[in-house]
Amino acid sequence: MKPEFGVTQDYSHSRIRCRSSSVNLNPIHEAQRTASPTRERIVVLGIGNTQWGDAGFGVRAVERLKADWQCAANVEAVVGGTQGRALLPLVESAGRLIVFNIADFGVAPGTLRLCVNDTALDHLHTRGVGVHQMDFADALACARLKGRAPRHLVLIGVQPLELDAYGADLDPVVRAKLDPAVEAACRQLRRWRAAPRRREAPMRGMRTAA
């Protein structure tokens, strides 16, 4: 199943970059703003390795989402970690998929971007940002070959600073983008008519330090 379009949003400014042009639009492609309500299964997935510095961003982001927000009944927030190809059944079960992860955008560390469909696939297939990412990209490719890929794919990615420091936590410039990343995911869920509800108090043991 071929994705419909590709869009990249840089959260350092308001311009959206499309494959063939650059246009100023409100947070995402117009086609998604007019999407009809859906009750199909939505998965929000955080992938990465928390043992290697900024490579743990995706996991920490989905942990924060789960701690601070109650997802709608048709939305599942999942810590995928480094499971890679083992996530294939989960990918195939989703009609819409949001992925938190690091990505090499070739920009300043800590830059947060939202990429859709083709553009998201391009960045998930980029080498040099962790074995876990290539394994997950393989799972996506397999789902597409089987005709079971999500109809909508969104990557919420951050440019990492440090990937080679074993045992290190997120760099402060990357950690600062956890809340903006979660907010971006919540906005996307609202566009899909699957708005989450903020918890009165964060779930204990789930929220990482700011």
Tokens 């379009």 sit on residue: 5
SS (H, E, C) 53-99: HHHHHHHHHHHHHHHHEECCCCEEEEEEECCHHHHHHHHHHCCEEEE
| Residue 38 confidence (pLDDT) | 53
Question: Residue 115 has what pLDDT?
Answer: 97
Can you read off the two tokens belonging to residue 192? 């899909």
CATH of domain 42-196: 3.40.50.1450
Kindly report, residue by residue over 124-167, the tens digit of the pLDDT.
Answer: 875 545 555 568 888 999 999 999 999 999 999 999 998 888 88
What letters, b where the CB count within 10 A reaches 16 and e where it falls short, cover 20-38? eeeeeeeebbeebeeeeee
Question: Is pLDDT above 70 for 204?
Answer: no
Residue at token pair 């997935």? 45
Looking at residue 133, what is its pLDDT? 57
**Residue boundaries of the structural domains of the chain:** 42-196
Cα separation, 45 vs 34, in Å, equals 24
- pTM value is 0.78
Query: Given a cut of 80, is residue 202 above it in pLDDT?
Result: no
Torsion angle (degrees, nearest 10) of CA 122, 124, 126, 130: 180
- Per-residue pLDDT tens digits for 26-58: 333 333 333 444 579 999 999 999 999 999 999
